[in-house]
Structure 1
Amino acid sequence: MTTNNSIKKIISFIKSELKDIYPIEEINSFVYIIFDEVLKYSRTKVLVSSEHEVNNESIKQIYSITKELKQQKPIQYIFEKTTFYELLFRVNPSVLIPRPETEELVEWIIAENKNKVQKILDIGTGSGCIAISLAKNLVGSTVYAADVSAEALKIAEENCRLNKVPIQLFQLDILNPKNNIDQKFDIIVSNPQYIAEKEKNLMQANVLNHEPELALFVSDEDPLVFYKSIVNFGLSHLNSNGQLFFEINESYGSKMFELLNEKGFSHISLKKDINGKDRMIKGILK
């Protein structure tokens, strides 16, 4: 007979609490993540142990997590971790949660630079997911990462230690870059703010209410402001044949192509993501 402390009852409670907020597939995913985190139960163990009872302390923890999910707090922030490019990263509300589209950008950079030793700069590094993934996969390359946020740099530093990669981190306001950066790079990559303020009403509540606005939004008047600054920075900080990679807003593919072309970049390539949206662009500085 099923008791109130059984796994079956707890799962029923989670689904009942979240059914009006999330699709059932996402709720099922939450269930397995919660049981893995709280009880170290695998998916299989959850499925075959539906009548097993859970201790009161764990039940309280599960109920607390469910409450946070009901408030649409991202599960990555609840557990303060996520995976990106098969690596583990610590995250909190001072940094964006890495997206699958950004994994595609990393994959592209790695494919274009396989077996090359490069000097790389990631601008607006956040959690450090791009820089760390590149350092792990482009062996021998020297990787630098910059962000305007001191709090983000703390998280990036933790993630460098977590993933055992030596990355040189520094603070940089790309809209007001100082002239004391005398380094030149083979690759500059950035996934800057690219969601226009007017698009806020299209955002999901779990993103809008919990992730850092500083890392998400840009003014409607000049949505390419960060890209323009990074392109100009690249003109003076890329080596000959240096590569500039961006993740972009799907609406600005043609404008980004024009921007790179006007600034003298060649071999410009606009790349679609897995959903067929213009999401990445690359240019080479001759």
Structure 2
Amino acid sequence: MTIQTAFTYITGAISELYDEREAANIAHIVMEYLTGMSKLDRIVHKTKILSPDQNQRLKIAIEALQRHEPVQYITGTSWFYGMELVVNKNVLIPRPETEELVEWMVQDAADRHRLHLLDVGTGSGCIPLALKKSLPAAHVSAIDVSEGALEVARSNASRQRLEVNFHLMDALDPAQLATLPEFDMIVSNPPYITQSEQKTMQELVWGFEPSLALFVPDNDALLFYRHISIMAQQKLFPGGALYFEINEALGKEVVALMEELGYKEVTLKQDMFGKDRMVKGRRI
């Protein structure tokens, strides 16, 4: 099978699962993963024959895609903020919307000299690594309850040659959080999807990404926002800011919670798709 016929084979095999454009994007990702060649190189060498090993990996990749497995878990990598990060089933796949949250923080920190930053529930480490990349003088820390996630995050920090301090810690345990120092900015993209919402989600999300990082009980959708907001009131320096990525359906509720807990200048911000996606509040 040639590079060109392999590309066509992939798009045809997943045509019932994805529209034409998305199927082509996925096929390009798989072909780069298989061949190590850029899109331009694959066009130039489109008649090159795949090796037996590449053919076998192609078969495995297509079978995984047909099971709705995200292509990022198949290739083991995902791009975020200009960085190619390792991902596996211990961590969520970084989303473009989260890049907007990082950019918001970077803009707010542009004129700051002393900066101590904390990411709560770091997963792949995408947020603290992007912050450290943009704010190299900052002291950046991150916590997660999953040792598997922290292994991925530490691997990504090593690959990107960025210094971030990662710690195993439960965001719902006040005793553990009490050991943290103080910070200028705290950020979190916590679990925020209610279990009842799972029914409306695509299987490629809930079927493969870690439920620990996705779901909260139906009767307490603000569970993590409340715990983290209470912690941040104690751990933010005066004037420090707390940033959240949020469930688009819970924007007003998160704002009300933060205001009730004493945060000032609470701001709800939309993402590139016009959906309520980020909230910032300041400790006075």
1:1-286 aligned within 5 A:
5-116=1-112, 117-178=114-175, 180-286=178-284
User: Matched residues in 2 for 1:237 and 1:8: separation?
Assistant: 55
Q: Which residue identity lines up with residue 100 of structure 1 in the other structure?
A: P
TM-score (norm 2): 0.95
* DSSP-derived class of the 2:132 partner: helix
* DSSP-derived class of the 1:178 partner: helix
User: Matched residues in 1 for 2:171 and 2:121: separation?
Assistant: 8
- Using the TM superposition, give the Cα deviation of residue 50 of structure 1 relative to its aligned residue in structure 2, in angstroms: 3.8
User: Matched residues in 2 for 1:168 and 1:114: separation?
Assistant: 22
Q: Report the more deviating stretch, 189-198 or 165-174.
A: 165-174
User: Matched residues in 1 for 2:149 and 2:180: separation?
Assistant: 23
Count of residues paired in the alignment: 282
TM-score (norm 1): 0.95
CA contact (8 A) 2:30 2:75 kept: no
- Using the TM superposition, give the Cα deviation of residue 48 of structure 1 relative to its aligned residue in structure 2, in angstroms: 4.2
CA contact (8 A) 2:30 2:71 kept: no
Q: Which residue identity lines up with residue 184 of structure 2 in the other structure?
A: D
CA contact (8 A) 1:253 1:278 kept: yes
CA contact (8 A) 1:115 1:138 kept: no
Q: Deviations over 1:32-58 (max 9, x none)?
A: 222222222321233344433323222
User: Matched residues in 1 for 2:130 and 2:46: separation?
Assistant: 38
User: Matched residues in 2 for 1:122 and 1:131: separation?
Assistant: 6
CA contact (8 A) 1:126 1:152 kept: yes
Q: Deviations over 1:247-286 (max 9, x none)?
A: 0011111111111111111111110000111100000000
* DSSP-derived class of the 2:30 partner: helix
Q: CA RMSD in A?
A: 1.4
CA contact (8 A) 2:123 2:150 kept: yes
Unmatched segments (≥5 aa) in structure 1: none
Q: Deviations over 1:100-132 (max 9, x none)?
A: 110000010001111323101100000110011
Dislocated runs of 4+, deviation >6 Å: none
Change (3 A) 1:87 1:60: same
Q: Percent identity?
A: 36
- Using the TM superposition, give the Cα deviation of residue 182 of structure 1 relative to its aligned residue in structure 2, in angstroms: 4.7
CA contact (8 A) 1:32 1:46 kept: no
